[in-house]
Amino acid sequence: MSRSFSFELEATEGAARKGTFRTPHGPVRTPAFMPVGTLGAVKTLSPDEVARVGSSMILANTYHLYLRPGHLEVSQLGGLHAFMRWDGPILTDSGGFQVFSLSDIREIHDDGVIFQSHIDGSTHEFTPESVIEIQRTLGADVIMAFDECPPGGCERAVAARANERTLRWLERCRAHFDEMGRVAEIDLPEQSLFPIVQGNVYPDLRREHARAVLALGDWDGVAIGGLSVGEPKPKMWETLEVLDPELPADRPRYLMGVGYPDDLLEAIGRGCDLFDCVAPTRNARHGTAWTLDDGQVNMKAARHRGSTRPLDSSCDCYACSRFDRAYLRHMVVAGEAFAHRLISMHNIRFLHRIAEESRRRIDEGSFTTWSADWLERYRAARARRAT
């Protein structure tokens, strides 16, 4: 484990955990949600706005930054933190999920993946070594190993083969990460490599893969991949329950790609610490906001016309403290980008408030009761809107 990274577990209630993940660019109080800055920016928001809604760590995407402007250009401009004007911790994913999503224009082999750019159709190849080199050059605090993410609902044999390949790739990722640190021609920042545990929703494969991954090194943290990719929600929760006793208690656990409000709270209750998802900003661009009393709200709906209510009366974000639903609906219907910005601020803040309250409740020992009540209230509101 690197001296520049550490995790302090401060309180638990059941499987739920409160802690602090320390990085070279500052601490992250966990559980914590990481907004996604795919291309180097959280959609429509400035870095200052992202910080003001409560974000301490953000995610950027290796696949997209590799294609444009290119990792070497980012490095020449001072690295990802300087390029994005973000002073806090940054995590980059490996690009594996994006590459594997390009099912019609990619070819998987044991050495890596050959794929076509979604921008211009040009051909590229990701290998464990090249993915590490790209991320090392970008300069994020936490970088991810290259893995194979099989689709949700895949057969057991497919998941087992993906586990084997992911493990082989992890060994190569670790070796190249260490080698770059020894012979770097550029001044590399302090970074931490997280492995990714796969296995789909097969309990035995998840246990086996977690144990094999942990046997390969003293990792600063562990990521859980291959969930929220189409499997039934109960299977996701069962998988997290299987993994909870397998993963080190003194390292952060990053559940990849999960960020809907109730999913976040369910996963916190099953021992996960870090989360990311494009949902808060993607939903905002479609005029959809999250609220506790009304569930998921479509701001295009005519019922908001003339309403002087805020989006969420309990929320302290800029959108809720300054604007009412009538104004937001008008902005959304008119196609004004300001509406997307306001709802993005609110949705990200909504997730941060869940994480903040979870930390407080875990600390005082009331998380289990509070989270059950919160989920019942939120889901009841969502069900009312669906009828």
With residues binned 3-state (H G I as helix, E B as strand, rest as coil), the percentages for the chain, rounded to 5, are 45, 20, 35
d(CA 242, CA 133): 33
**Do 291 and 320 contact (CB within 8 A), yes or no?**
no
Task: Give exposure, 197-222, as e/b (b: 16+ Cβ within 10 Å).
Answer: bbbbbbeebbbbbbebbbeeeebbbb
Give which of 292, 277, 261, 286 is closest to 343, Cα–Cα.
Answer: 286
User: Can you point out the beta strands (E) in 256-330?
Assistant: 274-277, 288-291, 295-298
d(CA 67, CA 162): 25
Give which of 265, 268, 242 is closest to 254, Cα–Cα.
Answer: 268
d(CA 92, CA 63): 10
d(CA 9, CA 70): 37
Look at residue 119 and give its three-state secondary structure.
coil
Catalytic residue list: 93, 276
Task: Give exposure, 237-271, as e/b (b: 16+ Cβ within 10 Å).
Answer: bbbbebbbebbbeebbbbbbbbbbbbbbbbbbbbb
Q: What's at 353, amino acid-wise?
A: R
**Do 246 and 210 contact (CB within 8 A), yes or no?**
yes
**Do 287 and 343 contact (CB within 8 A), yes or no?**
yes
Dihedral sign from CA coordinates of 211, 206, 256, 16 = negative
